[in-house]
Chain A
Amino acid sequence: MKTDVAVIGTGLSALAAARTIQQSGRQVVLVWPGLSSLYFLFATVDVLGYPTADATEPVADPGGAVARLIEREPTHPYARAGIDAVRAGTQLMLEWFKQAGLAWEGGLDRNFLLPTATGTPKPCCLAPASMTNGDLSRPEPIVLCGFTGYQDFAPELAASNLKRQWSAAEVSAVRVTAPGYGPDRLFTSVDLARSFEDATFRDAVAAQLRERLSGDTVRVGVPGVLGLTTPNKTFAAFQRAVGHPIFEIPTVPPSVIALRLFDRLRKHLQESGIEIIWSAPAHAAQVTDGRCRNILLKAAGHELPIEAAAYVVALEDWVDGAFRAGVHTVRDPFFHRPLAWNKVPTDRTAESLFSTQPFEQVGYALTERLQPADENGKAIAQNVFCAGGAIAGYDPSGTKSRGGMAIATGYRAAREALAA
């Protein structure tokens, strides 16, 4: 199969790359071996929540903070992508969300501070409009609302923690009954989301809530279950019925909020004529004279060679097969080069789960143009460009920067691919 640019990936970096190429008018094929295992993290796009993994104070100005980080850490994936890619990529995505019918808010000039499912304030840069009423920089009191018997959102836990860390106004917790749900019925976020699309259900929940709320200004935090296929309508209708500002909180997977994003963006790409190849993971790159001739996909029965002028490799991270971790050796799935070797598997990890982990630093070394580089810094393949978790040093978990890094690297890799 032939195309101009092949984007191989699973998460937001692949989508950002595909969109960038599409906007240029060139042909792009998206090889989408599956939805990313980390899809649920894209309920928001986090550009830079904290300046370092240890800092406790959130970043107020993510755009500026990223620029400063780039100066401080020239090998950071953000530095690889460049501040222009951060800005242009974010702009591209915001416009895309809008075009695709997604109601998202935010920009590089500020972070929202949104409560998580554990009630912890978290800085996020871009967020669905259905979440932003929860911004803790606003002073209105908050009621967190869960459902009796629903184990994936604990308003009591969240309220207790939020109260401690946010003193601007009162926080309390309530639970209401979800009509028709009992101990003998599956009760996941997706089940609830479907139910919320029904007006009778929605109104019954809203009525219970209205009774429990006092005060005009109070806003209500609910788990991310307000509709799956018609979220804008569902959110608006629910908010009207309750008569108070509502905000969603993303919680235990399956993540309805993230699913809305991926479903809509993917469909939008398809509607505009981009072909998506499902279920055919890439397993080898065929490189001759420093150029990648094709990448072999494992289709049913036989290999499908994708031949493109340029390739963007944008697998989200380890989980999605960006690397293959043997007992000692880590290899990449395209060139099968050893990227890391550990005598002892524990060396890949820190003692604490919540510390920066050595294994997250593993990845392709890159040239200036985001091509995968060998030990001498020379491009392994001139026309292959890396985005997402495959890049060395891609570790967004401490700084809360996954979405931003995905977009920036996806955008930059795509632009380099276009110039190749």
Chain B
Amino acid sequence: MPDTSTGVVVIGGGSTGAGVLRDLALRGIDAILVEKGDLASGTTGRSHGLLHSGGRYCVNDEQAAIECVEEGRILRRIARSTVEDTGGYFVSVTEEDREWEPRFVEGCRRTGITCERISLDEARRREPALSRQVRTVFWVPEDGHLDPFYLVVGNVESARRRGARVLTHTEVTGFLRDGDRVTGVRIKDSKTNEEGSIACQSVINATGAWSGLVARLLGVEVKVVPVKGTMVVLSRRLAHAAINRCHKPGDGDIVVPGLSVSILGTTSAKVPHPETLPIEWDEVRRMIEEGAMMLDGVTTARAMRAYAGVRPLYDLGAEAEGREMSRNFAVIDHQVRDGITGFTSIVGGKVTTFRLMAERVVDVAAGHLGVRTPCTTAEVPLNDREEPLDQLRHRPSLLGVPKPHGDEPPLQPLLCECELVRPQDVAPWFRDPAVRDLEDVRRRTRSGMGPCQAAICSYRLAARLVSDRGLDGASATRAMADFLETRWRGVRHVFWGSQLRNMQVTTGLHMELYNLDRELMKSPLPRPSRNLPRPLAGESQGGGDSAEPAEVAGKR
């Protein structure tokens, strides 16, 4: 790949990196984002999608709560298309929960979070699925759903419109230095194995749970501990709003409505590497049991898949110096701390406060570049062109019927029938060079994220790889198979009931109708690597899962 240069290299394509890229672009600073996987394929894409009201932190971490409140309001203003105002409930089930209640109420009051106690009758009228075990209910209207994919892609697209560039499936393998000054990065495309470099004046390390690994390439230490969290996805929304347990934050105490699904989460276990995320049955079982305490129907709902993600646990107290902006995230100015110019890290934090984190780190990095333009990301809306909102819940209304039955738009075919994705929703992404495989398409369009887990749309997507991207049959078929394999990895953990039955449709269709298994056996392409690092000595691979999307709830 040809070498190139820019002002700032942003490493990491999660919400923080995307926010940083956009902030830089709005300040007129030329930047390239380099992401080892796909946008939002790390922590952010595995977030359960809660737009925090702050209610979960208001007792133990007031500052975090206030940040959530403020950032939530900003996001609703500037990133309207990524937010669904579901509202949230905090419910008490046990005696312990009830003892927590006054602290919760007081915490909301202190941090300015709207919180209203409602009667059980009223609560059950609004949410018929609330379990019989629930005893007290608080309504917190500022909880919401923040779609992590739309958020990251939205930020990146906004930046790209202003000239920023993005390289996905590209790993930073090292740094270019001039003494103690960082002058660029060495990169490698993980799909093609091509190597190259990008010369730049500054590098921002926004890699979250990978921060330590990236910093190590520069010989600098950033102590981030990856903490795994497992989540279970149910194939429909049991409750309209988010349901939180009113207690000291613990495992499995939230059910988040995410567009067309419910996400039960989450657990907390340190792992040796951010990509070693084995899902244990015990975690899946616990998520379901905990969820069932708050919502009826959790144990009888169709479980669609389970996934695990990794949080970046950063010991803020351990930081001697560096600009500590909050108890929840930190900007590490390595010039100050390590004597290395042109390298700044942003660590910790959560998706909800990504914009603030980006602002802080860009302030530092831009300062070093001599750029004084203030941050405007809180004012400039994300969809600042006249693009129609693509909020999923509006999709049914787009699938209309021609006159005389209605004035609605005409009847268009669907590519992914489960998630109501039309061919025109998908087409632009096949033209985007940052989209490198079908998982990338999935993240941007939700194709394959419904109950059938790409059984039907896999072929339609593979077809486009050939017709729209000029791929040959072998590569397209391999991409189709890889896509199905990643879907499979998540389904295995909830292999019962109707999801089990549905997978038989998938295997039947692909193995018996398409004869895909023989196609793969005869493929000239090698079997893909599973994208897992080698296990460290003594570690087992557990359930053998690759890094699958997981949740970030600011859990410690």
Tell yes or no: B102 within 8 A of A by CB. no
Tell yes or no: B261 within 8 A of A by CB. no
Is B512 in contact with A151, judged by CB distance below 8 angstroms?
no
- Give the size of the chain B interface in residues (CB under 8 angstroms): 60
Tell yes or no: B505 within 8 A of A by CB. yes
Tell yes or no: B217 within 8 A of A by CB. no
Contacts of A41 in B (CB 8 A): 508-509, 512-513
Per the bound structure, the CA–CA distance linking A188 and B508 in Å amounts to 20
Is B467 in contact with A154, judged by CB distance below 8 angstroms?
yes
Residue of B nearest to A346 (CB): B492
Residue of B nearest to A321 (CB): B501
Q: From residue A392, how far is it (CB to closest CB) to chain B in Å?
A: 16
Contacts of B510 in A (CB 8 A): 353-354
Is B411 in contact with A156, judged by CB distance below 8 angstroms?
no
* B273-287 contacts to A (CB < 8 Å): 281, 284
Q: Give me 11 other A-B pairs in contact (C-beta within 8 A), A118-B459, A120-B516, A325-B497 excluded.
A: A37-B504, A117-B514, A118-B516, A120-B514, A121-B518, A154-B467, A318-B500, A318-B504, A354-B510, A397-B508, A400-B515
* B400-429 contacts to A (CB < 8 Å): 402, 410-413, 415, 423-424
Residue of A nearest to B481 (CB): A354
Contacts A37-B505, A156-B466; A352 near B485 (Cβ below 8 A): yes
Binding-face segment, B207-215, B332-340, B351-359, B472-480? B472-480
Q: Which listed residue (A119, A348, A357) contacts B473, Cβ 8 A?
A: A119
Contacts of A344 in B (CB 8 A): 281
Q: Which of A43, A162, A353 has the most CB of B within 10 A?
A: A353
Per the bound structure, the CA–CA distance linking A56 and B520 in Å amounts to 10
Q: Which listed residue (A117, A160, A317, A346) contacts B472, Cβ 8 A?
A: A160
Is B522 in contact with A359, judged by CB distance below 8 angstroms?
no
Binding site for B on A (CB under 8 A): 37-38, 40-41, 43, 46, 49-50, 56, 116-122, 151-152, 154, 156-165, 183-188, 250-253, 317-319, 325-327, 343-346, 348-349, 351-354, 357, 359, 396-398, 400, 402
Per the bound structure, the CA–CA distance linking A351 and B542 in Å amounts to 12
Is A184 in contact with B410, judged by CB distance below 8 angstroms?
yes
Is A118 in contact with B514, judged by CB distance below 8 angstroms?
yes
Is A345 in contact with B514, judged by CB distance below 8 angstroms?
no
Contacts of B477 in A (CB 8 A): 118, 157, 161
Contacts A154-B466, A160-B474, A187-B413; A353 near B512 (Cβ below 8 A): no
Is B473 in contact with A159, judged by CB distance below 8 angstroms?
yes
Contacts of B473 in A (CB 8 A): 118-119, 156-164
Q: From residue A389, how far is it (CB to closest CB) to chain B in Å?
A: 9
Q: From residue B438, how far is it (CB to closest CB) to chain A in Å?
A: 13
Tell yes or no: B93 within 8 A of A by CB. no
Contacts of A117 in B (CB 8 A): 459, 513-514
Is B520 in contact with A157, judged by CB distance below 8 angstroms?
no
Per the bound structure, the CA–CA distance linking A310 and B521 in Å amounts to 44
Q: Which listed residue (A116, A151, A343) contacts B423, Cβ 8 A?
A: A151
Fill in one digit per residue for B486-523: 1 if any A CB lies within 8 Å of its CB, else 0: 00100011111100111111111111111111111110
Contacts A56-B522, A118-B515; A151 near B460 (Cβ below 8 A): yes
Is A185 in contact with B410, judged by CB distance below 8 angstroms?
yes
* B239-298 contacts to A (CB < 8 Å): 281, 284
A–B complex contacts, Cβ < 8 Å, 16 sampled:
A46-B512, A116-B513, A116-B514, A120-B519, A156-B466, A156-B467, A157-B465, A157-B466, A162-B473, A184-B411, A188-B413, A253-B509, A319-B501, A319-B505, A346-B281, A353-B503
Q: From residue A76, how far is it (CB to closest CB) to chain B in Å?
A: 17
Tell yes or no: B524 within 8 A of A by CB. yes
Q: From residue B512, how far is it (CB to closest CB) to chain A in Å?
A: 5
Contacts of B535 in A (CB 8 A): none
Contacts of A116 in B (CB 8 A): 513-515
Contacts A117-B459, A185-B410, A345-B281; A402 near B485 (Cβ below 8 A): no
* B129-160 contacts to A (CB < 8 Å): none
Contacts A157-B462, A346-B281; A317 near B476 (Cβ below 8 A): no
Is B459 in contact with A396, judged by CB distance below 8 angstroms?
no
Contacts of B505 in A (CB 8 A): 37-38, 319
Contacts A43-B513, A348-B495; A397 near B507 (Cβ below 8 A): yes
Residue of A nearest to B282 (CB): A344
Is B460 in contact with A152, judged by CB distance below 8 angstroms?
yes
Per the bound structure, the CA–CA distance linking A161 and B413 in Å amounts to 26
Is A253 in contact with B456, judged by CB distance below 8 angstroms?
yes
Residue of B nearest to A182 (CB): B410
Tell yes or no: B533 within 8 A of A by CB. no
Per the bound structure, the CA–CA distance linking A351 and B496 in Å amounts to 16
Is A40 in contact with B496, judged by CB distance below 8 angstroms?
no
Per the bound structure, the CA–CA distance linking A242 and B493 in Å amounts to 51
Contacts of B402 in A (CB 8 A): 184
Contacts of A157 in B (CB 8 A): 462-463, 465-467, 473, 476-477
Q: From residue B491, how far is it (CB to closest CB) to chain A in Å?
A: 8
Contacts of B507 in A (CB 8 A): 353-354, 357, 397
Contacts of A121 in B (CB 8 A): 515, 518
Tell yes or no: B543 within 8 A of A by CB. yes
Closest 3 CB pairs of A and B: A160-B473, A154-B463, A161-B473
Tell yes or no: B59 within 8 A of A by CB. no
Q: From residue A314, how far is it (CB to closest CB) to chain B in Å?
A: 16
Contacts A151-B423, A346-B495, A352-B485; A317 near B515 (Cβ below 8 A): no
Per the bound structure, the CA–CA distance linking A151 and B413 in Å amounts to 9
